[in-house]
Amino acid sequence: MQGTRDYNPKQMAIREKVFNIITRCFKRHGAETIDTPVFELKETLTGKYGEDSKLIYDLKDQGGELLSLRYDLTVPFARYLAMNKITNIKRYHIAKVYRRDNPAMTRGRYREFYQCDFDIAGQYDAMIPDAECLKIVHEILSELELGDFRIKVNDRRILDGMFAVCGVPDDKFRTICSTVDKLDKMPWEDVKKEMVNEKGLSEEAADQIGEYVSLQVHQSCRLPASPLTALLITVLQ
């Protein structure tokens, strides 16, 4: 069938080893596992994925109950929390999900595939769960020995936090952000010049930003991480 595949014994042995490494790491961090049905009420899934809702597999009507195969593990987890009135939990879940997509198996796009989720739900100190999730990713990729890797964090709140620490005035966050975004096209000297000469940022603040964006973390396995990731990983070390 298009978009699916069989696994031979050798492939299963490799997958089992990878899953064991991932699971051990999750458990070290105090996570519990749950399981949810492979299908959900269609109304639970509909409208949660925007344009991707058209990729949900609908099942045949069974006596008036409209069901669909799960598209990911996040919405079933949210439904589980709401139904059981759970307010705080660290949970991991490794299971198959389904997408009614045009398969591109050479690029790793399947209609049936595994997702591996780790979630921290509830009220916790600010940024600590985010840092722990990044540390978990770092631990797993290191233990899998895949070679050099880089973890990139895409969250405007982290950038805003860095600006605040560096002394960037609140009313300059957005304009300084647009300049920092040019780092992939311009050398740091030109970026700093624009922030100071055109945007009116102090040299001291610009220099502090320069220290952060130039950071590289080299662990014992020679794994570079982005500067923002480095800051968060350090929280838990």
pLDDT digits (tens, 9 = 90+) for 172-192: 988 898 888 888 788 899 999
The C-alpha atoms of residue 67 and residue 152 are separated, in whole angstroms, by: 37
The C-alpha atoms of residue 38 and residue 92 are separated, in whole angstroms, by: 16
The C-alpha atoms of residue 220 and residue 95 are separated, in whole angstroms, by: 32
Domain 9-123 in CATH: superfamily? Bira Bifunctional Protein; Domain 2 (3.30.930.10)
pLDDT more than 90, % of the chain: 52
Least trusted range by pLDDT, from 61-65, 137-141, 196-200? 61-65
Band of the pLDDT at 84, cuts 50, 70, 90?
A: very high
Q: Where are the domains of the chain?
A: 9-123, 156-235
Average pLDDT estimate for 37-52? 84
- Consecutive H or E run containing 141: helix 128-144
Q: Please give the DSSP secondary-structure letter assigned to residue 30.
A: T
Q: What is the mean pLDDT of the chain?
A: 84
Band of the pLDDT at 96, cuts 50, 70, 90?
A: very high
pLDDT reported for residue 51: 65
The C-alpha atoms of residue 31 and residue 13 are separated, in whole angstroms, by: 24
Q: Which carries the bigger pLDDT value, residue 169 or residue 217? A: 169
